[in-house]
Chain A
């Protein structure tokens, strides 16, 4: 069905947008590198392909006048999802252009901001491209060459968004959300080591309560230990007496 195809494609676009944002946040910091610029380029190209595919599909569906009102409402909701994704993507692309220009890699004295992030972003990019391992094959001057391409791509995206707005008559404010407030807490179906990750992040949060929490754990352990000792003592006493 057209709707399911649309939904899977929108999910994919959503995933790529989220990963692209993570990558752009790492630009200009100490985890910036040749690889990061290449990852950005690849993710961007994938996002563009998905965007074009989504757009053709959705415009075809919305232009069809013979669909029911419920269907139309559903397609409008998907359209709002699509345009919001594209908004985020466009802003991230423009920002990556700016930051990329401000922090060139191939200069003799490069001052990358010491943000504390030192790891690589390979896994994020692999998630965006839906591959197991990323392959890097770009030349040394990717940062300058890529920026020119990026400018043209941004212009393309801009034009696409304007066209979309003119051609498709959808009132975005009229769409009602299906999810209610707090819906993100509900579905815990997620890929990867989600539950383990949650606990470890909670532990690692660098607040004052970390010390308090580990202290609490120690006190709790102590109490359990003394309780076990007491029970053992009582049992031994009973055994001796009987």
Chain B
């Protein structure tokens, strides 16, 4: 039973698909006996069932009605099949439209995908139970897995599901044979759309659920108008940029990142979301030994990219170690840690950073100008998350203007570039793709990844001197002896 009197702020509404209502009007027009799609009868072993339509008729009708060319009409037809308004009679698992004589049929309005009716797992459980009766226990593998899953977590409703499945099965038998066949086809098509078999793409995939029901009309209370006024005032106050400047920036960005976008270009060796092969992710792990060529190329785009990529930051750290100027990067990382870290350790972290980097005679003293140093020291009397922001920005600009340029020309970087891997593209056959999809496994847990990161940090901290101050102080100590 659904709990009705619930007052939490959970997100449970599917985001709106505005296209559904539009497809419904098109489907209604297709029903017209004079101007709609021509229907034929489907001949089975004993019975004949009317109202079957061929793929080519559908595509021709759409092209004619909407005045588009055949390939676009085919894409639109595929969309209608993928949403479940039309279902194929042969090859029912592939939700595409074939512009030949393969047969399709319209789905009944109850089974149309509607915004306001979420697809319930109870109904799916009842459907699987009915299918179990029909197939005498021989469900398909993915159906059997879902059945077991649902039995486990819907256990409290299971008696109801069994009872309802048996009753619906018996009630269905009261109808005449052709209607029974049609009903079975309809139900099966509905569940192929909403619970797709593994390895298929679903048109009903949507992002995060929303907190607000998109079907509710918002009441125009004074509060609502107050919100609208605030929003428009903030829009007016926003700083405006000339469109030539902003468009120029967009063009520059797209020109630089065009090759690196997995939507616009193929990603090597293959896109794991499409082929279920995780080589791409393994090659691009945060702490991999040899990065890929594309990754190294991205480091040359901007300093921000270099620092954002953990492997890039490692490389940069190595370069700075050779130059004995690692304190800048260490300070920057310390500031990031302070900004994003837990609130309880903030004060200690700020004090630690001051002692290590900013105090007079500190072991890893960083070179910032007097004014910034003043502001920082004053702020450290009452430390908060962003107290080291000014110093961090100064150091960031220093690294960007100075060390970054030298890094790109350094032997460290050139070495990394030479050793970078360039994997070949995969070419999987259909059977291999199916095998891949069956072998899908969850990746490393974030806990293990975090532990690996911590281990790496500890190793770094224990390594030898990396700053000039540390080297100089070591030399001084030697001299004194």
List residues of chain A with CB under 8 Å of any chain B CB: 11, 14-15, 17-19, 21-22, 24-31, 77, 80-81, 83-88, 91, 95, 98-99, 102-103, 109, 111-119, 121, 123-124, 126-128, 161-162, 165-166, 172-179, 181-185, 187, 190-194, 197-198, 200-208, 210, 214
Could you tell me how many residues of chain B have their Cβ less than 8 Å away from some Cβ of chain A? 73
Q: Given A29-B108, A201-B180, verify A190-B170 contact (CB < 8 Å).
A: yes
Q: Given A127-B174, A197-B173, verify A30-B51 contact (CB < 8 Å).
A: yes
Q: Show 13 A/B contacts (Cβ-Cβ < 8 Å), sorted by A.
A: A14-B160, A19-B167, A27-B108, A31-B179, A99-B109, A172-B157, A176-B155, A176-B156, A184-B133, A185-B136, A197-B173, A204-B44, A206-B185
By beta carbon, the residue of chain A nearest B111 is A25
Q: Across the interface, which residues of B come within 8 angstroms of A192, CB to CB? A: 170, 173-174
Q: Given A99-B109, A165-B4, A177-B156, verify A204-B181 contact (CB < 8 Å).
A: yes
Q: Say yes or no: B39 contacts A88, CB within 8 Å.
A: no
List residues of chain B with CB under 8 Å of any chain A CB: 1-5, 27-29, 31-32, 39, 42, 44-47, 49-52, 89-90, 105-111, 114, 117, 120, 122, 129-130, 132-134, 136-137, 147-148, 151, 155-160, 162-168, 170-186
Q: Give Cα distance in the complex from A118 to B170, angstroms.
A: 20
Q: Give Cα distance in the complex from A184 to B159, angstroms.
A: 10
Q: Give Cα distance in the complex from A161 to B2, angstroms.
A: 10
Q: Say yes or no: A22 contacts B172, CB within 8 Å.
A: yes
> Binding site of B, secondary structure by majority: helix, strand, loop or mixed?
helix
B159 to chain A, nearest CB (A): 5
Q: Say yes or no: A206 contacts B89, CB within 8 Å.
A: yes
Q: Say yes or no: A173 contacts B156, CB within 8 Å.
A: yes
Besides the contacts A81-B160, A116-B178, A194-B170, what 19 more A-B pairs have beta carbons closer than 8 Å?
A24-B110, A28-B109, A81-B163, A84-B122, A84-B164, A88-B164, A115-B51, A116-B105, A119-B178, A127-B170, A172-B156, A184-B132, A192-B170, A201-B134, A204-B44, A204-B47, A204-B177, A206-B90, A210-B45
Q: Say yes or no: A179 contacts B162, CB within 8 Å.
A: yes
Q: Say yes or no: A185 contacts B132, CB within 8 Å.
A: yes
| Pairs of residues from A and B, 9 with the lowest C-beta to C-beta distance, nearest first | A177-B158, A28-B109, A18-B167, A83-B1, A123-B174, A114-B51, A84-B160, A116-B51, A18-B168
Q: Across the interface, which residues of B come within 8 angstroms of A30, CB to CB? A: 51
Q: Say yes or no: A84 contacts B1, CB within 8 Å.
A: yes
Q: Give Cα distance in the complex from A95 to B46, angstroms.
A: 34
Q: Give Cα distance in the complex from A185 to B42, angstroms.
A: 32
Q: Say yes or no: A118 contacts B110, CB within 8 Å.
A: no
Q: Given A99-B109, A116-B50, verify A190-B166 contact (CB < 8 Å).
A: yes
Q: Say yes or no: B170 contacts A181, CB within 8 Å.
A: no
Which of A83, A111, A198 has the most chain B CB atoms closer than 10 A to its own CB?
Answer: A111
Q: Say yes or no: B166 contacts A165, CB within 8 Å.
A: no
Q: Across the interface, which residues of B come within 8 angstroms of A115, CB to CB? A: 51, 105-108, 182, 186
The residue from A19, A117, A161, A207 contacting B171, defined by CB atoms under 8 A apart: A19
Q: Across the interface, which residues of A come within 8 angstroms of B114, CB to CB? A: 98
By beta carbon, the residue of chain A nearest B133 is A184
Q: Given A25-B110, A77-B159, A113-B108, verify A200-B177 contact (CB < 8 Å).
A: yes
Q: Say yes or no: A127 contacts B171, CB within 8 Å.
A: yes
B211 to chain A, nearest CB (A): 22
Q: Given A184-B133, A191-B170, verify A114-B39 contact (CB < 8 Å).
A: yes
Q: Say yes or no: A181 contacts B45, CB within 8 Å.
A: no
By beta carbon, the residue of chain B nearest A24 is B110
Q: Say yes or no: B180 contacts A181, CB within 8 Å.
A: no
Q: Across the interface, which residues of A come within 8 angstroms of B29, CB to CB? A: 111
Q: Given A83-B1, A118-B50, verify A183-B44 contact (CB < 8 Å).
A: no
Q: Across the interface, which residues of A come within 8 angstroms of B185, CB to CB? A: 206
B190 to chain A, nearest CB (A): 10
Q: Say yes or no: B52 contacts A22, CB within 8 Å.
A: no
Q: Give Cα distance in the complex from A103 to B172, angstroms.
A: 23
By beta carbon, the residue of chain A nearest B44 is A206
Q: Across the interface, which residues of A come within 8 angstroms of B50, CB to CB? A: 114, 116, 118
Q: Say yes or no: A210 contacts B170, CB within 8 Å.
A: no
Which of B3, B89, B136, B167 has the most chain A CB atoms closer than 10 A to its own CB?
Answer: B167
